[in-house]
Chain A
Amino acid sequence: MRSVQALAVAALSVLTISDVSRAAEPKSGGIFRIYHRDSPGSASIHEGATYSLNVPFMPIFNNLVIFDQHIAQNSASTIRPELAESWAWSGDNKTLTFKLRKDVKWHDGKPFTAADVKCTFDMLMGKSQQKFRQNPRKSWYDQVDEVTTNGDYEASFKLKRPQPALLSLLASGYSPVYPCHVSPAEMRTKPIGTGPFKFVEFKANESIKLTKNPDYFKKGLPYLDGIEFTIIPNRSTAILGFVSGKFDMTFPTEVSIPLLKDVKSQDAKAVCVVEPNNVSTNIIINSSAPPFDNLDIRRALALALDRKAFIQIMFEGQGDIGGTMEPAPDGLWAMPKEMLESIPGYGPDVEKNRELARKLMQKAGYGPDKHLQIKVSTRNIAVYRDPAIILIDQIKSIYIDAELDVVDTAQWFPKIARKDYSLGLNLTGNAVDEPDQSFYENYACGSERNYTNYCNKDIEKLFDQQSEETNLDKRKKLVWEIDKKLQEDVARPIIFHARTGTCWKPYVKNVTIMSNSSYNGYRYEDVWLDK
């Protein structure tokens, strides 16, 4: 409890400090030093799906539009223009037109035009001759029929049907505009953007260096001379580096709750915030093979979970319980509490839930004398392994004896794709707090990231229905209904939504950690150092 109070005080002091800092006159200069948790595979944001990649490279780029970098909660109302000066929907809500800025240059001096917008999204839709090696967010643009240009400074997205969510998807840190004149291969090693910082070098396992773009189209920005990421995979060394002043900020959202206490005890002046980050820890179930092809066993599993215990053990109580969409108040689409608690397994009486689970297990032929033997597969990473161990302990109570099956990272997705598992402990990060992103990516029939091959045509119709809906209240109700059904179907039982910490030195100004995404808040164009 005391630690919660301490964090609350810390959070309040952050707010106060931030308010003061915004009132103060920003100073130019200085290198912003951040440690990085690991070496990203490349520098190409469009080909990656980890924020190890978009934290260091997001400052190089601009989007057509972007979520306001100083409002923690991303929403449609916080979308601001970047490369686009303005945008407008057509009367039938099937065309989204952007008027583009005319004063923008790529870092190599070439002018930015609407052709760059077209070729970026053509490549993302797989319509271009040049191909990405990987295209993890191709499904975001499934409803885009074509991107057209009208002269050099107007681009339109023509849709097959209305999709209000498209603007939010374009505002994600994952949606930068790439230059037409640079190949995808070059973008992996020497990215060129229009953003506030230019790429200097990326030494694998060592460092990533960015320098100020003096020709940035937003006059007077950025304030910093550059940003340096030092790659330190050893967490203890990295934290010591921050405490000793070698770094101005920790890697965003990478300080666990127990580590946060260490940081504060060694550096009382450090400003630390704890935020949810729209990453859920969940169970993937192979329902195509025994024993989990039996719905009763799947339901028993969902009933056996004690979600509060997970959060208490792993985060000292600092986590949230919810469905697929991030819980409120930070999540915009979360089911109301009463609705959530009406879902089997979410009710507060864990023992009662487990009693029901045991009955279902007995119906399926298991009991005190005949336990079900399975393996729980997961990746050899602490944030996966630790909850898997708790899960194994909890399902003992419903006659399931599980063994931990730790899988090497290189083998994880091939193993899941082969359906060579019974239960898997998985983490799902959502790039945008937006139902279209979550539902189509993780639960649509045939989607590449729908690891369990869950396919329910009735729910799929509801996906489209909510996606087309322009009335926000109506859409929210549809989203709640879908989320409830996904949990009742035990499609991918959500255990909890994590919260994590970020710390920086008090002289770092204008950093905001997003509270409903880990992917969208790293442009850093007006961050400054009060030194």
Chain B
Amino acid sequence: MFAYIVRRLFLMLVTLFGISVIIFVLLRIVPGNIVDILFDAAGFVDPADKANLERELGLSQPIVIQYLHWIGGLLRGDLGYSYVSEKPALEEILPRIPITARLAGLALLFSASIGIPLGVISAVHQGSKLDYALRVVSLSGLSLPSFWLGLLVLMASVSLFGTMPIFNPNPKTWLEALTIYAVPAMAVGFRSAALTMRITRSSMLEILRQDYIRTARAKGASEASVNYHHALKNAVLPVITVIGIEAAFLIGGLIVTETVFNIPGIARFLVEALRWRDYPIVQNLVMFIAVVVVVVNFIVDMLYAAIDPRIRFGD
């Protein structure tokens, strides 16, 4: 197990290095840079001023030098300066991380706490009206785009109560935080909940057909014990994988949710930074997201081993 962990950690470093190169190169391949966009706001391009600005921002240097400059800074904890706000990139990124983390965490919590039980209920009552009703709910969760759902929630809130949830990035109490984040978290988590529910259902159905489940029933174990002790524990493995992958994919859903609910998190910030070709922000943010995804994957693999004793990688 120890050897496996060491190997995984090494591979994580290699993956992150590869990602850093890809991010950097891709960003430079995208047509236009910050200088073009700044001049766009001015309504013209002056070649001499453009060259000066490119020099000032270090964009006239060879791409390899720019890359080494970035990685060197990153290793020293210096993320550079935002081209747009001219503030340190770290200062711009850091306050936005907890906002998105809270939203994503709540969305995942919502997804797991709704998706897993409903998936189990659906599987246990396979073919019943309840099963069909729950499958319709899960299908709608997968079909409705989160921005549409978000807008619907906002419109309902305005027409029913004459107000809309206004975002306060610094809630003072837990209750306030929950009220602020709950609605957007549900809007973005609905899709994940639906997916979790479907995976739980199909995984449960597969397990419930296994011989050892029949044996458990034959031994006189109660239905609850069979379903939750024998079946769910084994059915949950693919669900953990899906939740892990969803954590990574959530960023896509958060971009629209943060836009619709006007939440100043990292997802919306990333899109805006991309629009401005604000390289220091984009490359550091994408790198941060990559680290999160790689670490989540690592944790999921470790959970696999912890939950299922049959899986002991490398042992």
Given contacts A206-B264, A230-B262, A246-B166, contact A410 B41 (CB under 8 A): no
A44 to chain B, nearest CB (A): 11
- Residue of B with least CB distance to A52: B41
Given contacts A240-B154, A411-B32, A414-B32, contact A205 B264 (CB under 8 A): yes
Q: Are B42 and A243 in contact (CB-based, < 8 A)?
A: no
Binds A, one of B20-28, B66-74, B81-89, B121-129: B81-89
Known: A204-B272, A244-B164. 16 other contacts (CB 8 A): A39-B272, A40-B41, A52-B41, A133-B52, A189-B87, A204-B269, A205-B264, A206-B264, A236-B260, A237-B259, A237-B262, A243-B158, A245-B163, A408-B32, A410-B31, A410-B32
Q: Are B40 and A244 in contact (CB-based, < 8 A)?
A: no
How big is chain A's contact interface, by range? Answer: 35 or more
A17: chain B residues within 8 A (beta carbon): none
A342 within 8 A of B: no
A42 within 8 A of B: yes
B120 to chain A, nearest CB (A): 37
Given contacts A42-B84, A410-B31, A414-B32, contact A237 B154 (CB under 8 A): yes
A39: chain B residues within 8 A (beta carbon): 84, 272
Q: Are B36 and A413 in contact (CB-based, < 8 A)?
A: yes
Within 8 A of A (CB), among B22-60: 31-33, 36-46, 49, 52-53, 56
A409 within 8 A of B: yes
A235 to chain B, nearest CB (A): 11
Given contacts A133-B53, A205-B264, A449-B44, contact A410 B163 (CB under 8 A): no
Within 8 A of B (CB), among A227-283: 230, 232-234, 236-237, 240-241, 243-246, 266
Residue in contact with A204 in the complex, picked from B42, B85, B155, CB distance below 8 Å: B85
A347 within 8 A of B: no
Q: Are A409 and B269 in contact (CB-based, < 8 A)?
A: no
Within 8 A of A (CB), among B136-167: 151, 154-155, 157-159, 162-164, 166
A48: chain B residues within 8 A (beta carbon): 41-42
Residue in contact with A408 in the complex, picked from B31, B85, B272, CB distance below 8 Å: B31
B158 to chain A, nearest CB (A): 5
B301 within 8 A of A: no
Q: Are B166 and A189 in contact (CB-based, < 8 A)?
A: no
Query: Using an 8 Å CB-CB cutoff, how does the interface string of A34-74 with B read, 1 for contact, 0 for none?
Result: 00000111100001111011000000000000000000000
B181 within 8 A of A: no
A448 within 8 A of B: yes
B275 within 8 A of A: yes
A494 to chain B, nearest CB (A): 17
CA distance A50 to B56 in the complex (A): 23
B272: chain A residues within 8 A (beta carbon): 39, 204-205, 233
Residue in contact with A411 in the complex, picked from B36, B82, B262, B276, CB distance below 8 Å: B36
- Residue of B with least CB distance to A236: B151
Can you name 23 A-B pairs with beta carbons within 8 Å?
A: A39-B272, A41-B84, A48-B42, A133-B38, A133-B53, A133-B56, A134-B39, A203-B264, A204-B85, A204-B92, A205-B264, A205-B272, A234-B260, A240-B158, A241-B164, A244-B162, A244-B164, A246-B166, A408-B32, A410-B36, A410-B37, A413-B36, A413-B45
B284 to chain A, nearest CB (A): 15
- Residue of A with least CB distance to B166: A246
- Residue of A with least CB distance to B277: A410
A185 within 8 A of B: yes
B84: chain A residues within 8 A (beta carbon): 39, 41-42, 204
A52: chain B residues within 8 A (beta carbon): 41
A102 within 8 A of B: no
A136 within 8 A of B: yes
Within 8 A of B (CB), among A334-385: none
Q: Are A240 and B164 in contact (CB-based, < 8 A)?
A: yes
Q: Are A412 and B43 in contact (CB-based, < 8 A)?
A: no
B279 within 8 A of A: no
Q: Are A245 and B162 in contact (CB-based, < 8 A)?
A: yes
Residue in contact with B269 in the complex, picked from A136, A185, A205, A244, CB distance below 8 Å: A205
Within 8 A of B (CB), among A64-92: none
A266: chain B residues within 8 A (beta carbon): 158-159
CA distance A241 to B151 in the complex (A): 12
Query: Using an 8 Å CB-CB cutoff, how does the interface string of A191-210 with B read, 1 for contact, 0 for none?
Result: 00000000000111110000
Most chain B CB within 10 A, of A40, A41, A202, A205, is at A205
B304 within 8 A of A: no
A448: chain B residues within 8 A (beta carbon): 44-46
CA distance A444 to B238 in the complex (A): 68
A207 to chain B, nearest CB (A): 8
A136: chain B residues within 8 A (beta carbon): 42-44
A185: chain B residues within 8 A (beta carbon): 86
Query: Using an 8 Å CB-CB cutoff, how does the interface string of B249-280 with A read, 1 for contact, 0 for none?
Result: 00000000001111010001100100111000
B33: chain A residues within 8 A (beta carbon): 410
B158: chain A residues within 8 A (beta carbon): 240, 243-244, 266
A328 within 8 A of B: no
B87: chain A residues within 8 A (beta carbon): 189
A364 to chain B, nearest CB (A): 31
A404 within 8 A of B: no
A31 within 8 A of B: no
Query: Using an 8 Å CB-CB cutoff, how does the interface string of B267-309 with A read, 1 for contact, 0 for none?
Result: 0110010011100000000000000000000000000000000
A188 within 8 A of B: yes
Within 8 A of B (CB), among A7-53: 39-42, 47-50, 52-53
Q: Are A449 and B43 in contact (CB-based, < 8 A)?
A: yes
B40: chain A residues within 8 A (beta carbon): 409-410, 412-413
Q: Are A41 and B262 in contact (CB-based, < 8 A)?
A: no
Q: Are A188 and B86 in contact (CB-based, < 8 A)?
A: yes
CA distance A444 to B31 in the complex (A): 30
A50: chain B residues within 8 A (beta carbon): 41
A126 to chain B, nearest CB (A): 10
Given contacts A409-B40, A410-B31, A448-B44, contact A133 B162 (CB under 8 A): no
- Residue of B with least CB distance to A185: B86
A422 to chain B, nearest CB (A): 19
A234: chain B residues within 8 A (beta carbon): 259-260, 262
